[in-house]
Structure 1
Amino acid sequence: MLLDTPVCDFGWKAPEFSLKDADGKLHRMSDHLTDKGLLVMFICNHCPYVQRIAERLAADTRQLMDQGIGVLAVMSNDYQRHPLDAPDNMKRFAAEYGFAFPYLVDEDQSVGREYGAICTPDFFGFNGKGELQYRGRLDDAKMADSADREAELLKAMGQIASTGQGPQIQHPSMGCSIKWRD
């Protein structure tokens, strides 16, 4: 099911969480929040939207990390019903696309619910105080050719890092629904 993310709720405080990556290493959200900000994104392996942007996502997030912005990815899907999203496949997917950020398992789906994640991908860009400043899309290429894309997330996070404020005009991300347990 194709869904769009809601409009950015500027100033909403990032809830703390601790999640493990596929290797069992624990990551706390606040340990990745830098004075330049933090990107928390909800992604999964099996979503065609995430698959389509994975290379661009890896490249853009490397640039963000090089600028001192923290980056975390969270996988909240019910991987018992969707085994392509299981931790072993998360490791494979991250390696295939060269993800440099921690890719975390939201086993009980509590982080996805607390953040109000809607779809994959769903991007939450926070300033250095942990206040939401971006809830938009990666870029304007969508599922099309990305040669002349506008890297909206990259630009927004750069603006947040330098000013603490996100852009007023944001376009919603779209993708597959989060696969919640019944």
Structure 2
Amino acid sequence: MKILSGLLLFVSVFFMTGFAPDTPTPYKIGDKATDFKLKSVDGKMYSLSDFKNAKGFIIVFTCNHCPFAKKYEDRINDLAKKYKPQGYVLLAINPSDPSLEPDDSFESMKLRAKEKGFVFPYLVDEGQKIYPQYGATKTPHAFLLDKNLVVKYIGAIDDNVDSASEVKEKYLENAIAALESGKTPSPETTKAIGCSIKAKK
């Protein structure tokens, strides 16, 4: 009887932890991303489906407070400017909980976007529901999707956090070039360097 009770306990714990509905499996290369609907600093709601003619999507999880994210703001803006005419849509998503990091509040996001002249939608992940789906762990953390929302690249934007002028490997741009050529990005994944996402336990 004790053996049976122990077995039942093991099975129940396994199912509770292994198949919990609120812990989505992070995207891997080749997975198809689920669409979302998030509010931007311009007051509008944005979804991937809004961009019917997009050739691909550059999704960057970033925020206001993180020093790593700040070092990439201009580079992210430049990416949006460069690739929009080529049909790629860049969407930046702030995944941080503002109750844990006040600098990441929606009002602060609006101010930051205005100060920096962001040319892309700066979205807020209210309720922190989207970043776990992607498996984002840092700010910044980049994801490249093709026009069918299939994940093609995950990781860092480039290989030099501190200096844009000293970048040797433009991982994200190289991945876009591969996508344009019908090739597989190499590498497909890199390690994102940045601040941990501020999330409620």
Instruction: Provide the TM-score with structure 2 as the length reference.
Output: 0.79
State the Cα distance separating 1:74 from its structure 2 match.
0.8
Q: Choose from 118, 137, 142 the match for 2:161.
A: 142
Which residue in the other structure is 1:3 paired with? none
Partner letter of residue 173 of structure 1? A
Residue by residue over 1:72-105, the C-alpha shift from the partner in whole angstroms, topping out at 9 and shown as x without a partner, is: 1111111122110011111121222222110111
Structure 1 residue ranges, 4+ long, deviating more than 6 angstroms after superposition: none
Aligned partner of 1:5 in structure 2 is none
For 1:34 and 1:173, locate their aligned partners in 2 and report how far apart those are by CA, in whole Å. Answer: 29
The reply on whether 1:28 has 2:47 as its aligned counterpart is yes
Give 3-state SS (helix, strand or coil) of 2:165's partner: coil
C-alpha distance in 2 between matches for 1:122 and 1:33: 24
Alpha-carbon contact 2:153-2:188 (below 8 Å) kept: no
Contact 2:92 2:121 (C-alpha < 8 Å) held by counterparts? yes
User: Residue type matched to 2:109 in 1?
Assistant: M
Determine if contact 1:38/1:70 at 8 Å carries over to the other structure. Answer: yes
Deviation at 1:169, TM superposition (A): 5.2
Change (3 A) 1:79 1:97: same
- The C-alpha deviation readout for 1:21-72, integer Å capped at 9, x for no partner, is 1343111122236442101111000001011111112112211212110111
Computing the radius of gyration over CA atoms, which structure comes out larger, 1 or 2? 2
The one-letter amino acid paired with 2:166 is D
Residue type matched to 1:52 in 2?
K
Question: Does residue 1:127 correspond to 2:121, yes or no?
Answer: no
Residue aligning to 2:29: 10
Residues 43 and 12 of structure 1: CA distance in aligned 2, closer, same or farther (over 3 Å): same
Q: How many percent of aligned residue pairs carry the same amino acid?
A: 34
| Whole-Å separation in 1 of the counterparts to 2:106 and 2:112 | 10
- Partner amino acid for 1:147? S
Q: Which consecutive unaligned segments of at least 5 residues does structure 1 have? A: 1-7
Is 1:171 matched up with 2:190? yes
Aligned partner letter, 2:174: K
Does the CA-based 8 Å contact 1:121-1:175 persist in structure 2?
A: yes
1:34/1:136 CA distance change after superposition, 3 Å: farther
Go from structure 1 to structure 2 and tell me whether the alpha carbon gap of 1:142 and 1:26 turns closer, same or farther (over 3 Å shift).
Answer: same
Aligned-residue RMSD, C-alpha: 2.0
Structure 2 residues without counterparts, runs of 5 or longer = 1-26
Matched, 1:96 2:125: no
The 8 Å contact of residues 126 and 133 in structure 1, kept in 2 or not, is answered as yes
In 2, the alpha carbon distance for the partners of 1:12 and 1:33 equals 20
Q: CA deviation at 1:159?
A: 2.3
Q: Tell me how far apart the structure 2 counterparts of residues 61 and 23 of structure 1 sit (CA, whole Å).
A: 16
* Matched position secondary structure for 1:174: coil
Q: What secondary structure is seen at the aligned counterpart in 2 of 1:166? A: coil
Equivalent pair of 1:43/1:75 in contact (CA under 8 Å): yes
CA separation in 1, counterparts of 2:182 and 2:117? 29
Deviation at 1:153, TM superposition (A): 1.2
